[in-house]
Chain A
């Protein structure tokens, strides 16, 4: 969570910019989470739906 918080802080407060790498790490974490948990959510949902 720290890179995401730092990225948010850096975007709202230019003086507190932690570094561009923080933004990239944050976005990478979030995009990765969205892909992984999006697929997992859909799989669980479809499994429950098709199991009926």
Chain B
């Protein structure tokens, strides 16, 4: 019970830091919203998706991919925050306290997944405001939530070793942009069959 309380306190601290940091809010929440608006209203009408033509058809195709993209952007800030805590000596201070070892790292992971889900929900609401309507059943919606949690957990845990080993704050989040690149060269923003050379080889390598 004490460990759960410690986990809650440390997780709450990180989420509050994220929600009160303008840089984090702009990059993790506002930027995916602007990208969604740009892709749908500027480029959407010119991208073939199989759903028909126009911005609303493209929105229907692209929103799920942008939700995952939003989560991937959050992993960069998870890396930076863990690295900042390490380099600033905050992790050492926590280690000197009677706290379970796994709680310190676990709070970063839990906070990261929760913050990613908040960002994903906000981008989804923007999509709904733009006209996106899902026909998912309650079961599918819960499965999507489960998939999002797994995705958030996966990319957060991928970020942790890099964030611990990176020498400084700036380089800690660099690898997360590789994740973003992998999402851009997936079926997130356009159909794989519409790709042109030399990117065609990524259709098979990014499976």
Given known pairs A2-B192, A37-B158, A37-B161, the reply for A13 and B147 (CB within 8 Å) is no
Give the residues in chain A near B203, CB-CB below 8 Å.
Answer: 2
Give the residues in chain A near B206, CB-CB below 8 Å.
Answer: 1-2
Give the residues in chain A near B102, CB-CB below 8 Å.
Answer: 42
Cα-based distance from A2 to B207 in the complex (angstroms): 5
B95 CB–A CB distance under 8 Å: yes
Within 8 A of A (CB), among B166-197: 182-183, 185-188, 192
Give the residues in chain B near A26, CB-CB below 8 Å.
Answer: 147
A41 touches B160 (CB 8 A): yes
Instruction: Tell me the total A-B contact number using a CB cutoff of 8 A.
Output: 111
Question: Which partner residue on chain B sits nearest A31 by CB separation?
Answer: B150
Contact among A12, A31, A45 for B63, CB-based, below 8 A: A12
Q: How far does the Cβ of A25 sit from chain B's closest Cβ, in whole Å?
A: 8
B48 CB–A CB distance under 8 Å: no
Chain A interface residue count, CB cutoff 8 Å, equals 34
Given known pairs A3-B207, A5-B68, A41-B105, the reply for A27 and B135 (CB within 8 Å) is no
Contact among A3, A23, A37 for B160, CB-based, below 8 A: A37
Provide 11 A-B residue pairs closer than 8 Å at the C-beta atoms, listed in order of the A residue: A2-B206, A5-B186, A5-B188, A8-B148, A11-B143, A13-B64, A26-B147, A30-B147, A33-B154, A37-B157, A37-B158
Known A-B contacts: A1-B185, A27-B150, A48-B164. Give 18 more (CB < 8 A).
Answer: A4-B68, A8-B67, A9-B65, A14-B137, A14-B140, A15-B135, A30-B150, A30-B151, A30-B153, A33-B157, A34-B154, A34-B157, A37-B154, A37-B157, A40-B157, A44-B160, A49-B95, A52-B92
Footprint of A on B, CB under 8 Å?
51, 60-61, 63-65, 67-68, 86, 92, 95, 101-102, 105, 134-137, 140-141, 143-144, 147-148, 150-151, 153-154, 157-158, 160-161, 164-165, 182-183, 185-188, 192, 203, 206-207
